[in-house]
Amino acid sequence: MPQIPTECLEEIFKYLEKDKNSLFSCLLVERSWSHIVIPILWRKLWEGTNVKLIETYISCLNESDRDILLDEGVDLPDTPEPLFNYPRYLKNFDLGLLEDLVYGWLTVDGPLDPEDLNQVTSVMSIICKLIIDNTDGLYNLEIGDWKENYNIPDIALLKGIRNALVDLREFQIHGTCYMASAEALDNISNILTIMSHFSNNIQLINIDCCHRDFRLGKRLSALIESQSHLQHLLIEDSSWNSTLTQSLNSAFSSQFNHLKTVTISGLPLDNFFLSNLANCTKLESLNIFHCRNLKSIDSMSHEVKQSCQLPLSKLASLHNSIDSLFIFEIFEMSKSNLSKLILDNVDSNMIQHVSNFCKNVEYLAININSEIIKTIHLLSNLNIKHFIFYSRSTSTITTPSTDILKLFGLSLPPSLNSLDLDFNITPDGLNEILNFTQARIKSLGLKLPRPFDNIGINDEFLNVILKHTMLNGGILKELRIDRGREFLVHKHFSEEMLANAKGILKIIPEFDIPWNTF
């Protein structure tokens, strides 16, 4: 039997990277397979594997490091000599997860006595040293989440730190930093400083933390500024004050020619940030959430705005204190490149601007009320494929006027094939929309009343949908409900209605709600 080439096996096993059990099975087939599988298995730390993983790393320690742990009172198991240099293969290093695994290993036989809690830090430090000094190079470094008095080892001065960080591609820091100890904050600051020197080719930086340490803000800004080709920047942190925001602006401006994705949440943005969006010549996705001070870009001349052409294809603006003119100017600068829009605080003026400037939008998610429904017809000329409507109101949207719902149905773009209605609606209201739309909807998402113990409460909805489906040649293929709660699908409808739907309509617990994604 001919052998599969090693290169082919490597590609096959890469597809199993997230399937730990299958990889373990492949490991046992033959020795040549194990040499391919081991580097893949040990590329990351696996949750729920604290005993085996930590003991495997313990088996890789030299005698001096084992003696340090023994002096700290750590009970080390007798382990055979390892077959592989396991820490060499680690690529995704999550320090928060490592702390969880170490704690789980130390407490597998019962909680630690208060005087032994320092053992967590000791084991963490030794294993971090083992990893940093042996790895072929990390691709992803993650710091967080913090628990009370969480401590992180000072890895910045380890002899292997340059080799470990020089090829770093992603960096993530998340959690609540003020729960970290003072020593941990010092150590994090040192890590960020050393990264600014050695890790200059990071492609993604994700800052999702609440900190009250001025140094961290400055160090994070310096890290951003030190990158040669940063493509994705995500910052979610309400603790940046105006002084730190200025340093962030400087860092942001250094990456104008490289950034493809920018996600900002909770920051007090100023005109420097906004006016310089025009310089982001490769920006494809902009997400702005919970931000303040968003105003029109007054400092930009009309000529500059006209000459600018952002390659922006996706824009999401949610929960902001915002001047609508800011959004309008992004529309104008994007020159019809936008294909995906997620917006709240939408009014008739916003609908008009979407119609005028977003000619190629295919995915549109907006909030809705009776006034907006009256202007939806302005979008009927667009080639929208997926439309999502959301209401913050808890009141049911029905008539006062049946004409409103007829208009809503008639105004839906004929190009539409997927529709999500994330607001309270009655079966009669849904019937009006489906009866009057010219769109050939294939997928419908509905916010339905929770069934709880009232099985079959939503039979009327299903009856309306089935009638519409049969009258329109079976175009509608799926009903999406329940936001992923699969166990409730068979409680929404009676057995009789589900039997009627079988073979006609697929009912699945999948409801696209972008408002809850960010």
pLDDT tens digits, residue range 393-429? 554 444 436 678 888 999 999 999 999 998 888 898 8
Alpha helices by DSSP H, listed for 155-241, are 161-165, 182-198, 214-225
Q: Is 316 exposed, middle or buried, given 0-12, 13-18 or 19+ CB atoms closer than 10 A?
A: buried
Give the DSSP H/E element, type plus range, for residue 70: helix 63-71
CB atoms closer than 10 angstroms to residue 47: 13
Q: What is the pLDDT of residues 257-311, one digit of tens each?
A: 899 999 988 877 665 566 678 788 899 999 998 887 665 555 455 555 666 778 9
Using alpha carbons, select from 275, 358, 367 the residue that is nearest to residue 318.
367
**Alpha carbon distance 500, 286 (integer Å):** 44
pLDDT of residue 302: 57
Contacts of 319 (CB under 8 A, 6+ apart): 289, 290, 344
pTM: 0.87
Q: Collapsing DSSP states into helix, strand and coil, what is residue 274? A: helix
**Alpha carbon distance 32, 35 (integer Å):** 5
Kindly list the distances between the CA atom of residue 161 and the CA atoms of 45, 66, 128, 129, 143, in Å, as whole numbers in the listed order. Answer: 19, 21, 10, 9, 16
Kindly list the distances between the CA atom of residue 37 and the CA atoms of 7, 131, 211, 259, in Å, as whole numbers in the listed order. Answer: 12, 19, 40, 35
Of 109-123, 126-140, 469-483, the range with the highest mean pLDDT is 126-140
Kindly list the distances between the CA atom of residue 247 and the CA atoms of 244, 275, 491, in Å, as whole numbers in the listed order. Answer: 5, 16, 54
